[in-house]
């Protein structure tokens, strides 16, 4: 087919034209060749190809939205009176906001080092203090006001994104489970004037009873555990069942922020003038504090395990059964060759029993995880002094509403007179 052929246009042909060959010659040769089978009924499904590619890829790009709700938002840095907590300022550079009050990290459950809580576990379940490992620092976290984003109180909402992608295929926890959640860790940056303090929830290793410990936050790097400045690890409590291949969070981590203020106390003495008792107010001030609390770990759901528990024996003669045992399956009881596990639900599938599942967009070899989060700091009303301060807040009584209808119900829908 490489032979050059000159074709003479019909309009230029005449009796004196040179005879030209306008066709390629085909050589006939006695040569055998294979006949390839082809099934014209074979249909390529773009949906099946997409699903296979998405399931084979475990790289996530994480972004989302944060609605920050707190009385500490917008406060001036030098608050000293109780009223300062209810008179926020949003101008200038001397007020507290989400940007200068927190450092945000991305963390995953640590691969090892959980602390066993002894003495309170049931026969089939065990409790552990779970710890977390940093996989992204504040340098890889972007936070900015969301365009046209306001909550029901007219306050600005915020958008966030991480500047790196995360391949979760090798993320496993202390029990060998594939990680199903990542967490944004919000580390509070306590003020120095006035002097604030921050404490974390702790649990006894022997009894599981919770307590609190004051700690100094520290700068963390990738691979570090979430910890205090003296190296004490911070975590939550999970309940783990080996036989059911199941774990759940039993007690979340709670941080407590102590903010001092000057409390005014009004007392009265009475004098009698012309037979009338006249109250004379006396104002004294005392140092007090308010306690606020928040959960520093904001969950980001990657995937779910199936509600169906699977069982198989590694000594089975059936190849299909043995090959179905995933690498993360748990041998229970240990040494018997019996394995239990739960399958990871595929993307786009929702369990009909629990209605759990995720369906993240998959583009450019990335799963795009969008998370809409409510991040709030609330007063700790279990603290007597904080409860007393908030009980003194009085709101004006609402204007009574006339319960009697002002018109005739029979005229509803008729033109106005």
Q: What is the mean pLDDT of the chain?
A: 86
* pTM score above 0.85: no
Q: For residue 272, what pLDDT band results from cuts at 50, 70 and 90?
A: confident
pLDDT for 122: 53
Q: Distance (Å, rounded) from C-alpha 129 to C-alpha 115?
A: 5
User: Tokens 């001030």 correspond to what residue?
Assistant: 285
pLDDT in tens, 59-69: 999 999 999 99
pLDDT for 208: 86
* Domain encompassing residue 375: 59-305+358-391
Higher-scoring residue by pLDDT: 178, 37: 178
Task: Answer yes or no: is pLDDT of 1 > 60.
Answer: no
- Of 181-195, 234-248, 317-331, least confident by mean pLDDT is 317-331
Work out the percent of the chain whose per-residue pLDDT is above 70: 85
Is the residue at 311 inside a domain?
Answer: no
Task: Answer yes or no: is pLDDT of 42 > 60.
Answer: yes
> How many beta carbons lie within 10 A of that of residue 10, not counting itself?
6
Length of the chain: 417
- Of 27-41, 76-90, 191-205, least confident by mean pLDDT is 27-41
3-state SS, residue 58: coil
Is the residue at 234 inside a domain?
Answer: yes
Is the distance from CB of 342 to CB of 353 less than 8 angstroms? no
- Of 142-146, 160-164, 384-388, 409-413, least confident by mean pLDDT is 409-413
Distances (CA, A) of 377 to 69, 106, 157, 221, 380: 7, 20, 15, 26, 9
Q: And the tokens for 293?
A: 């609390």
Q: For the CA atoms of the chain, what is the radius of gyration?
A: 35
Q: For residue 46, give the H/E element and its range.
A: helix 46-56
Is the residue at 345 inside a domain?
Answer: no
Q: For residue 230, what pLDDT band results from cuts at 50, 70 and 90?
A: very high
Mean pLDDT, rounded, for 387-398: 76
Phi and psi at 293, nearest 5°, equal -140, 155
Mean pLDDT, rounded, for 283-307: 93
pLDDT for 2: 57
Mean pLDDT, rounded, for 390-402: 70
Is the distance from CB of 128 to CB of 114 less than 8 angstroms? yes
Domain count, the chain: 1
Mean pLDDT, rounded, for 278-307: 92
Is the residue at 314 inside a domain?
Answer: no
Task: Answer yes or no: is pLDDT of 28 > 80.
Answer: no
pLDDT for 318: 82
Is the residue at 339 inside a domain?
Answer: no
Task: Answer yes or no: is pLDDT of 75 > 90.
Answer: no
Mean pLDDT, rounded, for 111-130: 81
Q: Which residues contact 240 (CB under 8 A, 6 or more apart)?
A: 125, 126, 127, 128, 175, 246, 247
**CB neighbour class for 29 (10 Å; exposed up to 12, middle 13-18, buried from 19):** exposed
- Distance of alpha carbon 114 from its chain centroid, rounded? 21
User: Tokens 């639900």 correspond to what residue?
Assistant: 345
Task: Answer yes or no: is pLDDT of 16 > 70.
Answer: no
pLDDT for 251: 94
Task: Answer yes or no: is pLDDT of 4 > 70.
Answer: no
Is the residue at 117 inside a domain?
Answer: yes
Is the residue at 145 inside a domain?
Answer: yes
pLDDT in tens, 241-260: 988 999 999 999 999 999 99
Beta-ladder partners of 210: 203
Is the residue at 156 inside a domain?
Answer: yes
> How many beta carbons lie within 10 A of that of residue 253, not counting itself?
23
Q: Distance (Å, rounded) from C-alpha 157 to C-alpha 147?
A: 9
pLDDT for 31: 75
Task: Answer yes or no: is pLDDT of 164 > 80.
Answer: yes
Q: Distance (Å, rounded) from C-alpha 286 to C-alpha 261?
A: 9
pLDDT for 225: 97
Q: Distance (Å, rounded) from C-alpha 282 to C-alpha 294?
A: 37
pLDDT in tens, 328-377: 999 988 888 899 999 999 999 999 888 999 999 999 999 999 999 999 99
Q: For residue 383, what pLDDT band results from cuts at 50, 70 and 90?
A: very high
Task: Answer yes or no: is pLDDT of 170 > 70.
Answer: yes
């Amino acid at each position: 087919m490489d032979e050059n052929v000159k074709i003479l246009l019909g309009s230029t042909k005449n009796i004196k034209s040179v005879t030209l060959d306008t066709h390629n010659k085909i050589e006939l040769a006695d040569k055998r060749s294979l006949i390839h089978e082809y099934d014209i009924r074979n249909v390529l499904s773009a949906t099946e190809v997409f699903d296979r590619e998405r399931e084979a890829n475990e790289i996530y790009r994480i972004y989302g939205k944060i609605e920050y709700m707190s009385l500490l938002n917008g406060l001036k840095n030098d608050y000293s009176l109780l009223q300062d907590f209810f008179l926020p300022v949003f101008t200038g550079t001397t007020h507290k906001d989400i940007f200068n009050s927190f450092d945000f990290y991305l963390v995953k459950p640590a691969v090892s080092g959980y602390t066993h809580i002894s003495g309170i576990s049931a026969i089939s379940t065990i409790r552990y203090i779970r710890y977390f490992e940093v996989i992204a620092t504040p340098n890889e976290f972007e936070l900015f006001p969301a365009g046209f984003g306001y909550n029901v109180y007219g306050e600005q909402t915020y958008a966030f994104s991480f500047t790196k992608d995360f391949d979760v295929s090798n993320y496993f926890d202390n029990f060998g489970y594939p990680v199903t959640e990542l967490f944004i860790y919000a580390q509070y940056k306590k003020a120095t004037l006035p002097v604030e303090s921050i404490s974390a929830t702790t649990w006894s290793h022997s009894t599981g009873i919770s307590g609190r410990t004051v700690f100094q936050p520290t700068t963390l790097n990738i691979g570090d555990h979430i910890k205090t400045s003296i190296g004490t690890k911070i975590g939550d409590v999970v309940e783990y069942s080996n036989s059911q291949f199941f774990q759940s969070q039993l007690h979340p981590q709670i941080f407590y922020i102590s903010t001092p203020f000057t409390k005014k106390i009004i007392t009265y003495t009475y004098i009698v003038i012309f037979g009338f008792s006249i109250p004379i107010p006396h104002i004294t001030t005392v140092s007090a504090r308010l306690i606020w609390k928040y959960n520093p770990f904001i969950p980001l759901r990657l995937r779910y395990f199936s509600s169906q528990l699977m069982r198989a024996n590694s000594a089975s003669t059936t190849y299909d059964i043995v090959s179905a045992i995933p690498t993360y399956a748990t041998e229970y009881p240990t040494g018997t060759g019996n394995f239990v596990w739960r399958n990871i639900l595929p993307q786009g599938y929702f369990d009909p029993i629990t209605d759990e599942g995720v369906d993240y967009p998959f583009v450019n070899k990335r799963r795009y995880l969008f998370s809409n989060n409510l991040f709030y700091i609330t007063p700790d009303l279990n603290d007597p002094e904080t409860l007393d301060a908030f009980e003194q807040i009085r709101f004006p009584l609402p204007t009574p509403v006339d319960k009697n209808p002002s018109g005739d119900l029979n005229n509803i829908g008729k033109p106005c007179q």
